[in-house]
A and B are shown apart, each in its own frame.
Chain A
Amino acid sequence: MSTLDPSLIVAAAPAALPAAKAASPTKAAFRQFLRSPSGVAGAAMLLVLVLGTLFGPLVYPVDPLDIAGLPFTPPSADALLGTDYLGRDILAGLIHGGRATLMVGAVAALITISIGVTVGALSGFFGGWIDSALVKIAEFFQVLPPLLFAMVLVTLFGQKLTTITLAIGAVSWTAAARLTRAEFMRLRDLDFIKASRAAGAGNAHLILRVVLPNALPPIIVSATLAIGVAILFEGGLSFLGLGDPNTMSWGLMIGQNRNYVLDAWWAVTFPGAAIFLAVLAISLVGDGVNDAVNPRLRRR
């Protein structure tokens, strides 16, 4: 047993997949991704949005919480996209608010995936009572309506962007957990895992270095989509009046302006369109990634 180095087997493991060709799997996947027009379009849109929210504030340094003009100014030379019910600049809101929205989306998705993968990996890998216990916990979270649960958390712990982000993560990890668990259960009995175990690999090594890399493709896809879901979630919470009033975000803009939609269509339409485009872009990227990491498609 001691003659075999487990890391050799790890290196060999991806190669055991039928998809592997001469090029590294990452490069192959990337090439496959570039072949999907919708994926590329999504990535381009996303890039524009991210760059816009990163560098926009430098170009357009109007504070989105400041009153920049008269309330309900329609889109005009004074305010390109108009002002809201307080006279706050909608364009500034879009640019600065996008930062918060995309950040909430990314961080909440990260939390979702971290919790989901941890729980899913442990329960899928070990099975038995650990599995039963973790599945019970996951079921507990699953039967609670996620939006309602998030509302309760935000109400309890305050309307802060961090609370909102954590709440979204806390309520939406179960899907990722189920996915990871299924992947782990499928993989743990495959021959190369058995071989690795026989070579003396410990549980931690097996989970992190052997099974996880092979379970990763569907998880990456689900992580991408989780960003979109988290953005919608933030919008939903803000729509219900549970946004962070001190940080401008697209969701907050919609939530606060929805009562005035008949007076100022621009105040909800533009952030609404921004959320729509962001989620669409992320979905397209997710589809592209899905195609790229799906071995059956890759061979076409």
Chain B
Amino acid sequence: MLSKRSLLVTALGAAVMLGLPGPSRAQTAGGTVVIGSTQVPRHFNGAVQSGIATAMPSAQIFASPLRYDDNWNPKPYLAESWKVSPDGLSVTLNLVKNAVFHDGQPVTSEDVAFSIIAIKANHPFQTMLAAVDKVETPDPYTAVIKLSHPHPALLLAMSPALMPILPKHVYGDGQDIKTHPANLKPVGSGPFRLTEYKQGEFYTLEKFDRFFIKGRPKLDKIVVRLISDPNAMMVSAERGEVNIVPFVSGVRDIARLEKSPNLTVTDKGFAGIGPLNWLAFNTKKKPLDDVRVRQAIGFAANRDFIIDKLMGGKATASTGPIAPGSLLEEKKVETYKFDLAKATKLLDEAGLKPDAEGTRATLTIDYIPGADEQQRNIAEYLRSQLKKVGLKIEVRAASDFPTWAQRVANHDFDLTMDTVFNWGDPVIGVDRTYLTSNIRKGIIWSNTQQYSNPKVDEILAKAATETSPEKRKALYSEFQKIVVSDAPIYFVNATPFYNAFSKGLSGLPTTIWGVMSPLDELYWATPPKT
């Protein structure tokens, strides 16, 4: 949903990136950008912490083996080239020779090996590097990743957001990496170095002069202001006190920023995260253990109404477990197009007879507190909507996130709204929701639906190790069709995430990882008036 103006700006930016002679050569470097963020990072080490709060600064401070363009193509970063062996069991990275850490030490294969093992041991995404057996370092600029089975998701796992290369000489001192003091005073090899952090207020990233890509980063400084009040954030953006607002998801906030003459608003830059907003069923609880009841709820809900009317048309419909924008998304699945008659028929078949008041069953619905438009409003909508087919829904409010997470993680729910990220490759962010082996009580965002289908387990296991992209796509396509028809989840929409940029900024981060990718190409084409 790029406006014409922003398309022009992006095109201009692209022209400059390609090294075409631009008219404003003199204005391509220097300057400061202020980012406003509601996300307060616990620390800056993306190797041991997932989530956008850490990933954004971590991608600036640490370099990673690969980076991605806006079409899922891997690009050289710390690895100037890479090679996957024909059997898929080893991946060789040839590192650039001029990369140094912020303290001047060179980046070598030792650091890469150390980091991969550290991430495997500490990162919350356990499936991401589970296949890695060891990393061999035949010379300082070659790292060979040895796998126990082919693992095509590995290339995506080498993204800036997921695989920051840590300096072994700092982190290899025997302390626990999760609580390492360097997590708050990070030393990386990325385009920016952290120079100041005032807990909960702001952090400052300054240009690293010896960054290994010549002429980058273009900016001198990035200041990230942590603004917890969304309204204050909007005002700051409109007044130009903040130049970038990432991860805006409120429909009204988006509309408001779009109206501002000083800002460009885009929904590009989130394909990697693949954020999905859905209605999950407790498939072990009566009457939801009957697939017909779950399907009936899908047919009774009107996805078009939710997206067009409740979300003001700002969200994208999602019909399956893989997010729109992923190359693996299968569109040809049962979409559960709104059909009350069909819903009623399915409920009848399932043996849910209406009582004297027309009620067939009474169910509860939970939602994640704090995200009204994506969660609470839909829960309330469903209460009204499902009444039409005789399902009485009671909305259970949770006063805070842990309350909700505890209920859902402990399978103490009937229906719940939920938001789960794909994180690029199904192996990283999708499988966890459907694998029988991931039904783990007490862990949020595991298979809390308790969905179990041996066929799905089998397909996912096969797809995780399938090296042929076509065969892999076919496997995931089958997986999506089965899951959608088994309906452990009614898929509603992709969470609308938008980034707002001050006009005058060029080289915008519109790749699949957006601002969770190095901002080394960003610059002021038209510097702001001061």
Choose from B369, B384, B387 the contact partner of A241 (Cβ within 8 Å). Answer: B369
Selected A-B contacts with CB under 8 Å, 14 pairs? A65-B384, A66-B384, A66-B387, A67-B381, A67-B385, A71-B309, A86-B377, A86-B380, A155-B399, A159-B397, A241-B369, A242-B399, A245-B380, A259-B252
Cβ distance B300 to chain A, nearest Cβ, rounded Å: 13
Interface size class of A (residues with CB under 8 A): 20 to 34
5 residue pairs, one from A and one from B, having the closest CB atoms: A155-B399, A245-B395, A159-B397, A67-B384, A66-B384
A interface residues, Cβ below 8 angstroms from B: 63, 65-67, 70-71, 85-88, 154-155, 159, 241-242, 244-246, 259-260, 262-263
- Name the residue on B nearest A245 (C-beta): B395
Q: Are A87 and B309 in contact (CB-based, < 8 A)?
A: yes
- Per the bound structure, the CA–CA distance linking A240 and B394 in Å amounts to 20
What residues of B have a CB within 8 angstroms of the CB of A262 in the complex? 252
B394 touches A259 (CB 8 A): no
Mark contacts of B388-400 with chain A using CB atoms, 8 A cut-off: 1 yes-contact digit, 0 otherwise: 0000001101011
CB pair B395 A85 closer than 8 Å: no
Q: Which of B381-422 contact A (CB under 8 A)?
A: 381, 383-385, 387, 394-395, 397, 399-400
Task: Report the separation of the CA atoms of residues A263 and B376 in the bound assembly, to the nearest whole angstrom.
Answer: 18
Q: A86-B377, A155-B400, A242-B397 are in contact. List 6 more A-B contacts (CB 8 A).
A: A86-B381, A86-B384, A241-B369, A246-B395, A262-B252, A263-B252
Please give the distance in Å from B238's CB to the nearest CB on chain A: 14
Chain A residues with Cβ below 8 Å from B399 are 154-155, 159, 241-242
Q: Is the CB of A85 within 8 A of B385?
A: no
Give the Cβ gap from B95 to chain A, nearest Cβ, in Å: 50
B252 touches A246 (CB 8 A): no
List of B residues within 8 angstroms of A244 by Cβ: 397
Closest-CB distance, B316 to chain A (whole angstroms): 19
B253 to chain A, nearest CB (A): 10
Mark out the residues of chain B between 189 and 228 whose CB falls within 8 Å of any chain A CB in the assembled complex: none
* A87 / chain B contacts, CB cutoff of 8 Å: 309
B310 at the A interface (CB under 8 A): yes
B312's closest neighbor in chain A, by CB? Answer: A71
* Interface-central residue, B372, B377, B383, B399, by most chain A CB under 10 Å: B399
| Contact across chains for A70 and B309 when beta carbons are under 8 A apart | yes
Cβ–Cβ < 8 Å partners of A63 in chain B = 384
Distance of A188 from chain B, by nearest CB (Å): 45
- Per-residue CB contact flags for chain B residues 220-241 toward chain A (1 = under 8 Å, else 0) read 0000000000000000000000
Cβ-defined contact, B377 with A85, below 8 A = yes
| Residues of chain B with a CB closer than 8 A to A88's CB | 384
> How close is A86's CB to chain B, nearest CB, in angstroms?
6
Q: In the docked arrangement, what's the CA distance between A259 and B376, Å?
A: 13
Min Cβ gap B111→A in Å is 47
Q: Are B397 and A245 in contact (CB under 8 A)?
A: yes
Measured in the bound complex, the distance between the Cα atoms of B387 and A86 in whole Å is: 15
- State how many angstroms separate the Cβ of B7 from the closest Cβ of chain A: 28
A71 and B305 alpha carbons, distance in the complex (Å): 10
A287 to B372, CA, bound (A): 41
**Residues 35-72 of chain B, each 1 if its beta carbon lies under 8 Å from chain A, else 0:** 00000000000000000000000000000000000000
Report Cα–Cα, A241/B395, bound state, in Å: 13
Contact A260 B369 (CB under 8 A): no
B392 CB to closest chain A CB (Å) equals 10
- 0 or 1 for each of B279-309: is its CB under 8 Å from A? (1 = yes): 0000000000000000000000000000001
> Closest approach, in angstroms, between the C-beta of B425 and any C-beta of chain A?
36
* Residues in B423-465 with C-beta less than 8 Å from chain A: none
Smallest beta-carbon distance B241→chain A, Å: 21
Per the bound structure, the CA–CA distance linking A262 and B231 in Å amounts to: 13
Contacts of B252 in A (CB 8 A): 259-260, 262-263
| Chain B residues near A259 (CB-CB < 8 A) | 252, 372
A65→B383 CA distance, assembly (Å): 8
Q: Which residue of the partner chain A has the closest CB to B395? A: A245
Cβ of B376: which chain A residues have Cβ within 8 Å of it? 245
Bound-state Cα–Cα, A154 to B380, Å? 20
A86 B310 Cβ-Cβ under 8 A: yes
- In the docked arrangement, what's the CA distance between A261 and B301, Å? 27
Interface centre among A87, A242, A262 (most CB of B within 10 A): A87
| A29 and B126 alpha carbons, distance in the complex (Å) | 76
Chain A residue with Cβ nearest B309: A71
- A263–B373 Cα distance when bound, in Å, is 14
Min distance, Cβ A198 to any Cβ of chain B, angstroms: 56
Residues of A within 8 A of B385 (CB): 67
Q: How far is the CA of A242 from the CA of B381 in the complex (A)?
A: 19
Residue of B nearest to A242 (CB): B399
Chain B nearest CB, measured from A248 CB (Å): 11
Smallest distance from the beta carbon of A255 to chain B beta carbons, Å?
A: 11
Q: Which of B351-393 contact A (CB under 8 A)?
A: 369, 372, 376-377, 380-381, 383-385, 387
In Å, the complex CA distance between A39 and B387 comes to 44
Q: In the complex, what distance in Å separates the CA atom of A98 from the CA atom of B183?
A: 54
In whole Å, how far is B404's beta carbon from the nearest beta carbon of chain A?
A: 12
